[in-house]
Amino acid sequence: MASEQLEAALRAALDAALAAGDLDIDDAPVQITVEPPRSRQFGDYASNLALTLGGRAKLPPREVAARIARHIAPGRLIERVEVAGPGFLNFHLHPSWLQDTLVQIESQDDRYGTCQAHTGERVLIEFVSANPTGPISVVNGRAAALGDSLARLLEACGAQASREFYVNDALNSTQLDLLGASLAARYFQELGQHRPLPEDGYHGEYLVEIARDLVAEHGDRFASLSEAELVPLFRSLAEERMIAQQRRDLEAFGVVFDTWFRESSLYASGAVAEAIEEMKRRGHAYEKDGALWLRSTELAGDDQDRVLVRSNDRETYVAADAAYHKNKFDRGFTRLIDIWGADHHGYVARLKAGIAALGYDMDRCQIILTQMVLLMRDGEPVRGSKRAGDIIPLIDLVNEVGRDAARFYFLLNSYETTATFDLDLAKKQSADNPVFYAQYAHARCCAVLRRAEELGVAVRPAAQVDRSLLTHEKERDLLRRLADYPGEVRLATDLIAPHRLTAHVREIGQALHQFYEECPALKEGTPPALRDARLAVFNATRIVVRNLLGLLGVSAPEKM
């Protein structure tokens, strides 16, 4: 793609400038990036390379830019290079390159936008991982949209990406014990018996629904069991039914996990005990006050050392998490990505310390902290439902606005900012609704191509049309957006920024609207050769928008 070719040209020009003695810098690596400028008056692409080298070259950045530019010769791609502002290098490309993008898009079709930048990487993305004590919430939904789209992006860039849900089902989980006791109380209540919910139990109506199902399936067969038998039974029943519901809700949201990894398996296999022994062997654990502690301050700059094994001999989640991440690496993954809620920021250092204590590079595990979700209706925040235990279930959101709108809205902004979700806007079928506007771009292209077929006009391959006729400003604007798409995919992947794609598809939609209005393809009087070239633009736009929406997990309807 153009950005990669320009980066290579800049690298060659820098090397030539150094060899010629025009520049003198140290031997440290030089990072070169090329991106579309904010305004097209500054060319098709721009680089801040000279600004990053000014200090190292002991020259004003504009002078560094000028010396590099001398070694960039115009060619088939580059028409001219300009030095602008404090030292930007602005590239103006030949019109033919932009026009020929149509051929590339058509020939690559669903592969357009993919690359091999991450080939050879095996990436495990662990996300959502909600406790099996209640429905998947809208906050979990944001993590689900991010994790699934990130997996799609990594796969588009050549990596093998695996999606994993970590089920917190350890036998020592007091929360699961409470869940089981709460379900048992609801079961007896459905049988007409008085049994109060335990203190700090789960009050959500979803347990009433599960209890009602259990009575319908089993009647009173559990009523005669002893308390010792009831506790493990109802814990197991509650856990399995909640996990099944979580799986259904996520699949309704378009997220299917490759693995549902159970925390309990780490204890059953002895992995937690082995991890603790390994930390002790490496000298990263010590005993104090009857407990075993991890040297997390020394290993990862934690604010205090953390307990691995309590004085009652029960392992902590710090030990289990370390064992779990060892398991991930031992399965052959070269890179780990964990997506957590922002309220878990205090847990980052202790996990990193556990990874380091087991001999692994903690930098191979990247932890993403997502901010909260604020649902709005009629200008007011939406409150959690009693049925769900004062949370807002993701499935309720999907049922109200649809899967596509829910996913798109969760990806509108960076995960580092609070997401404000306007339910009223998400249901509008107008240009004010971002997801409608994005999908309508695809539907509009399909409508034009169908209309051409109805008129008996064949849509010719881009390689067979006169692309040199595409000189109108709005034609070029749209073509630039289509040409920028592969670079946006790469940046969205490398920066973990799927929101770049939601912004880019809206830019494509806006450029398409202006092209549609000012550059008619099927209007009477349009020369046939120009008509054919413009129809090729509609077809290429259809392909790009479809591919882009697919990376977000959003459908591309042909009619709206």
Q: What's the pLDDT score for residue 73?
A: 86
- Domain spanning 2-93: CATH superfamily: Arginyl tRNA synthetase N-terminal domain (3.30.1360.70)
Note the pLDDT tens digit of each residue in 27-48: 899 999 888 888 878 888 999 9
- DSSP for 157-171, written as a single string: TT-EEEEEEEE---T
Q: What is the mean pLDDT of the chain?
A: 94
Q: Give the pLDDT of residue 302.
A: 96
Q: What are the structural domain ranges in the chain?
A: 2-93, 430-552
Q: Give the Cα separation of 432 and 422 in Å (integer).
A: 11
Structure tokens at 247: 């799986």
Q: What percent of the chain has pLDDT over 90?
A: 87
Mark out the alpha helices in 358-472 (DSSP H runs).
Answer: 394-401, 403-410, 423-426, 434-454
Q: Is the pLDDT of residue 386 over 60?
A: no
Residue 471's pLDDT is what? 93
Which pLDDT does position 98 carry in this prediction?
A: 87
pLDDT per residue over 88-141, tens digit each? 999 998 888 889 999 999 999 999 999 999 999 999 999 999 999 999 999 999
Region 205-214: what's the mean pLDDT?
94
The torsion angles phi and psi of 400, rounded to 5 degrees, stand at -80, -45
- According to DSSP H, which parts of 109-226 are helical? 138-156, 174-190, 205-218
Confidence at residue 222, expressed as pLDDT on a 0 to 100 scale = 96
Whether residue 522 is predicted with pLDDT greater than 60 in this model: the reply is: yes
For residue 126 the two structure tokens come to: 């662990």
Is residue 533 pLDDT above 80, yes or no?
yes
pLDDT at 77: 87
Q: What are phi and psi of 80, to 5 degrees?
A: -160, 160
Cα–Cα distance for residue pair 530/528, rounded to 1 Å: 5
Please tell me the predicted confidence (pLDDT) of residue 429: 87
**171 pLDDT more than 70:** yes
Query: Are the CB atoms for 178 and 389 separated by under 8 Å?
Result: no
| Average pLDDT, integer, range 208-229 | 94
More confident residue, 1 or 54: 54
pLDDT at 388 over 60: no
* Gap between the Cα atoms of 57 and 26, Å rounded: 8
pLDDT for 507 beyond 90:
yes
Place of tokens 């006009």: 457
**pLDDT beyond 80 at 490:** yes
Q: What is the pLDDT of residue 296?
A: 98
Q: Is the pLDDT confidence value at 377 over 80?
A: yes
Residues in CB range of 535: below 8 A, 6 or more apart: 448, 449, 452, 457, 459, 460, 465, 521
The CATH number that domain 430-552 falls under is: 1.10.730.10
Four-point Cα dihedral 138, 141, 146, 152, nearest 10:
-160
pTM of the model: 0.91
pLDDT tens per residue across span 173-184: 888 999 999 999
DSSP string, 491-559: HHHHTT-THHHHHHHHHHHHHHHHHHHHS-SSSTT--HHHHHHHHHHHHHHHHHHHHHHHHHT----S-
pLDDT for res 1: 67
Query: Given this model, what pLDDT does residue 384 score?
Result: 72
What is the pLDDT confidence band of residue 488, given thresholds at 50, 70 and 90? very high
Beta bridge partners of 373: 419
Which residue, 126, 114, 186, is CA-closest to 152?
A: 114
| Model pLDDT for residues 303-336, shown as the tens digit of each residue | 999 999 999 999 999 999 999 999 999 999 999 9
Q: How confident is the model at residue 389 (pLDDT cuts 50, 70, 90)?
A: low
Does the structure show a pLDDT above 80 at 66?
yes
User: Does position 385 have pLDDT exceeding 70, yes or no?
Assistant: no
